[in-house]
Structure 1
Amino acid sequence: MTENLPFIEITDIIQSLANKRSTGTLELSRDGEPTTYLFFREGMIQHLKAPRSQVILGKALYQLNLIDEADYELTLSDYAQTGRRYGEVLAELGLVSEEGLRQALSFQAREDLQNVLTWKQVQTRFHGSSQPLSDVFSESDLEFELQMGGMSLLMEAARREDEWSLVREHIPHEDDVLRLSAPGAIKAEDLEVRITLLIDGYRSAYEIADAAPCNTLECLHQLAELVREGKLVTLEPLELIELGHEAELDDDHEKALKLYQLARSRGQDGFDLRRRIARAHHMLGHKQEALERWLEVAERCAEAERADLAIATLKEVIELYPTDLHLRQRLVPLLVANAAKADAALQLRNLIALAETNGESPQLLTDLMNQLLELDPSDRPTLKALATLHREEGDGVLAMGRLDELATLEVEADRLEEAILAYREILEIDPENLNARLRLAESYAGLGSTDDAVAEYRGLADILYNSGLIANSINWPFLIRVYESIVELEPSSTPAWEWLAKAYIENNQRDLAISRYLGMAQSLRPTPGEPPSPALISPLARVVELDPTRLEVCYELAHTYLALEMRVEAGRTLRQLAEEALRQEDVPKARSAYQEAIEIDPFDLVSRRGMAALHELQGDLDLAFGIWLLCAELCQRVGLLSEGRSDARRALAISASDPRALKVSAALEALAEEPQAAAALLLRYAEIMHERENSGLALEAIAQARRLDPARVARHPLLSLLSTGNTPRSGAPLR
């Protein structure tokens, strides 16, 4: 018979079985521990089956003084090499009797039972049977009987609990690490030397007792007494943390974790300690515990208004657990709050990809995509994916909204083919969506797909007709006739003129388009004495663009810009007018346009150069020279060196010996870091000044040239003449 027993104390269960003189197997289990079995015969514990003994047999013999330390080490070595059981090795070597083995096994079983008695929240089942469970106990487990009385076992447990209480008064935790209070604090009479040698400031009290050649509890009792006497001390929290770090370096992460947790339980609770605890759990493979600890660290950082540390912590743990969705979801709001939107968007993209791979719910994917679009509304792939998701979930309205956003982005980026795909998908959902059909037609028109555009307009017309909004079939010829009628009846209808002009351009009817733009301009011209409307610029500019030879329109456009205080645009248009006038050989108009552009902007170098070239063309070299030189000087002032050098050369090409032109050209060459060219020009200037018997300016130019090109000046004959004062008569050639 098998009986499930309720959650009660193990001691009560054992006492009950002893009092009832029960026979059968008691099964004991708890979360995180393998099952232990006890076989009772008439209330006496005869056999025990534990998955792992608290005391290995060799140590049990050693603690019972049935073997010495050398024999104990010998059995450990043999076990490591052959894997044979300790009892078998010791019996074969004749180191222990059968009675000794029985004592050791009994000791071992008692220790295991005492450990089981400390369990809390134990699940128990009692299998009533006269024989031990055959699928649990092996033949070796049944070789001898323990003959343990339940009451004596419980009395021993009570005694041990009393001793443990005394130990805990001075060594509160089994992971407490002990060290000497001072060198030589423990004498030989205080503690056995072999135990003293185990106190190294690294082992815990329990580790020392476990390795000691005596009973574990007895050793702990001795250590606690030495702590009471002040000869041993437990490590302080900061020392525990430092020791835990050493354990980490030695890859002993289990010990490191125990030390860190003990330090935290004693008041140390900084960011670094929490990170160490989380990392130790990770290294030990405790994923869930590690994640909880990492999140604690991040939350603590956020509470302390250290979002940077919280972000760094979450990024670190994401590298450890890259497939954890929850971590990335926690990271994104922190990044957004910390104004790291680009990083947040990247994390969301990774999160979406991970959610798709994991087959997460459509609602989660929808939420994540919406978050991403709040950060980056122009994310085309996400807009497309979200629209698809909405369609799959049967929400056509939301799908069309996202597709419309996508199409708008494509149009703005001049990706009309992609926009067409988006609009077509909208029409698959709702064929009567007027806005989508209109935008689709416009996109086709933008691509030059006139037939497709016309087809869409016709489709739009059909929808309008069927809906009763319009009774006529709408296509391109019909629309043109309609708008022609509009402008005929209402010449001031600017939108109609513009639509007609665009329609004629789409039909490659340039002359008609120009005439409609002119009609549009006429509808926008102000009454005499009134300023023009900015809207007048568009049709005039389109006419000039379509037919640059219309000088009168170009002139009107320039003066419209000027009237609207758009001086830069006015100057540019006047220059365009001048250039076209020259192409038409209309020199007076070209000169007038350039002159007007210069009046608008005296620093309009392009117009001045145009005037200079025009004067050269007509043979007015003096005027041309003056303008070229003025351009060079203006360029010098504003640092336009390349253009200034070119202008100066044009001036010198007309008058190669003009001192002013030489000086300006030399200065520009020097500024352009062309010392040899600058020196040559200065020497030429010096020669002219010398010829004009102005030795002072000649010497000054020579000095400037020498700084630029000493070698050239040193070879120049003028240098020696000026330095000796032996100057030839004016006009005499230099040798």
Structure 2
Amino acid sequence: MALEGSIEEFGLPEIFQMILLQKKEGVLRLTREKTTLFIEFNQGQIISAGDGEGDARLADNLIKAEKISSDQLKALLRAQKRDNQPLARALVQAGHLPADEVKKLNRILTEETVFSLFEWKSGSYKFEAKETSYDSQLIEPLSTDSILMEGATRTDEWPLLKKRVPSTEMVFEVLPKEPAPAPADEESEKKEEDSFESMANLSEPEEEEGAWLLPWIDGKRTVQEIVDHAQMGTFPVFKALSELISQGRIKAKEESLKSQRKKSGFTFKELSRQQQIIRIIFNSITIAAMVIFSIVAFKSVYVTLSNAVQPILEMRTLRAGIERDNLLFALDLYYLRYGRYPDALQQLTAEGLLNSKRERRIDLSKWKYELTGNTFRLSSL
């Protein structure tokens, strides 16, 4: 049978099992409402999963975890475009992260995407057989069989975990650990020391379940911030929090500190938009200064109105500059998604990269776009 159809009729576990058993190679496209995710398989094993913008997701994760700064990210993006390579490889070559840490992070991001799919009860799927490849230094294929078993376990446990930790905006604090009770008397202590069980247990006491998360719980970080900084995945963090709650080691703070704390970091798209906003503000200030100068410099209203033509022309130039910035941003997003620039500007609209009200008003026929190899030229007609 063709690997295409409805998730209601043929569940995701069955789809994964078929791909695994037949050791297929290709891309599984999953769509639900406005969400589309892609899972790449190599010999039936999962090598990547996401929305097609893996570099943007990796960058956002590193910024939130404070692994790199905004200036470092800007330099990495320039190097990435220059050398035409994935962001993960640029990170390693620049010395920001070792290859093993990048491999671990790629695995966690892939797992997070795949496990989120187990909550899908509707949607459609389509598998396209095609050749896939991966960098073995930065990507470790995930066992599809293990993913299926772990996914079933997480599906069963998630409802209880979310009852104990209902919001990612919650803030937890560590409670003082109560000392262990002293023995009732010397005789009972002696019996304990002489018992077979105590003689057999000569090792150090095991660490309490969930204790690995305690260093991240400081009474200030929200649950989402703990997930971002611990870089262990959402489910392991929620499970550890639930275990620590059961042990009486932590408790939720009554007041939220989120409003008192300054947000650290920003997303990859916000960084790109920030650059556009700076240019727009600079151009706006320049035009406003010219208009004010024109009004003040001339006494006559007639002369003032006559010279107002120049600011009007400048406003048109500003609008063209804004349209150019929007097009450049959309071209960068297209490059991050496909590793190349589009053949024509109309592909930006087809891919949904010009969605805002202002972007939809751009007349693409008034722009000249020339693609040369891995670079392009963009100019207004």
Q: TM-score, normalised by structure 1?
A: 0.25
Larger radius of gyration: 1
Structure with greater strand percent: 2
Larger RCO, structures 1/2 (Cα 8 Å, 6+ apart): 2
Structure with greater helix percent: 1
Q: TM-score, normalised by structure 2?
A: 0.45
